[in-house]
Amino acid sequence: MQQQLQDVFDRYTGEQSELIPILQDIQDVFGYIPSEAMSETARFLNLPASTVYGVTTFYAQFHLSPQGRNRIHVCQGTACHVRGAEKIITAIQAHLGIAPGETSQDFEFSLEGVACFGSCALAPVLVVNDTVYGKVTPAQAVDILEALR
C-alpha cells in the first residue's frame, strides 16, 4: 500500500487544497479510502488526521470500506422519485438483501442511492458500473442485476 500511496502523493505538492483530489485518486486505486491511507495523507499534507477524517466523511463520494464488484446506483432525483425510484430501491433491497449504503457479503454488489444523475428526462434511472439505464421498472432492475452474476 505504501508504494501505491507514494505514487499518488508524487503527483501533488503537499498543499491542503489538494486534499480532495488526493482522496479521489486514492479511491480510484483502492476502491475505497483505507484508514491507513488517511493517516498517510495527513502526514503528507501536514494536517491533523482528524481534519482528513472530517473531510473524508463529509463528502458522500468517499467510502470507508471496500465496495462490491458491481456498483449499483439508484437515482433518487425528484423526477425519478415521482416516477417510482423508491420502488426500484425496495425491489433491489429485497432481492439482494442489502440496504442502500451496504455491500453484499460475497462482495458482488454494493447498493447506493444517489442524489441526482441529471438524466431526469429518462426517469427513473439506474446506473450500474457506469452504464446508465433509463425508464427502468422494478422487475427490469432485478433482471439487469441478475445478468451480471
Q: How far is the CB of 118 from another protein (least distance, A)?
A: 4
Q: Give the gyration radius of the chain's Cα atoms.
A: 18
Choosing from 3, 46, 115, 149, the residue that interacts with another protein (CB under 8 A) is 115
Residue 148 main-chain phi, psi, to 5 deg: -90, -15
Rounded CA-CA distance 65/147 in Å is 25
> Does 138 interact with another protein (rule: CB under 8 A)?
yes
Quick one: cell of 140?
A: 427490469
Choosing from 29, 49, 133, 144, the residue that interacts with another protein (CB under 8 A) is 133
Applying CB under 8 A, the span of 2-10, 31-39, 98-106, 128-136 interacting with another protein comes to 128-136
Give the total of residues touching another protein (CB under 8 A): 52
The residue among 84, 77, 88 whose CA lies nearest residue 119 is: 77
Are the CB atoms for 62 and 23 separated by under 8 Å?
A: yes
Residues 52-111 that bind another protein (CB under 8 A): 54-55, 58-62, 76-84, 86-88, 90-91, 94-95
> Does 118 interact with another protein (rule: CB under 8 A)?
yes
Q: How far is the CB of 36 from another protein (least distance, A)?
A: 20
**3-state SS, one letter per residue, for 67-121:** CCCEEEEEECCHHHHHCCHHHHHHHHHHHHCCCCCCECCCCCEEEEEECCCCCHH
Residues that bind another protein (CB under 8 A): 15-21, 23-24, 54-55, 58-62, 76-84, 86-88, 90-91, 94-95, 114-123, 125, 130, 132-135, 137-139, 142
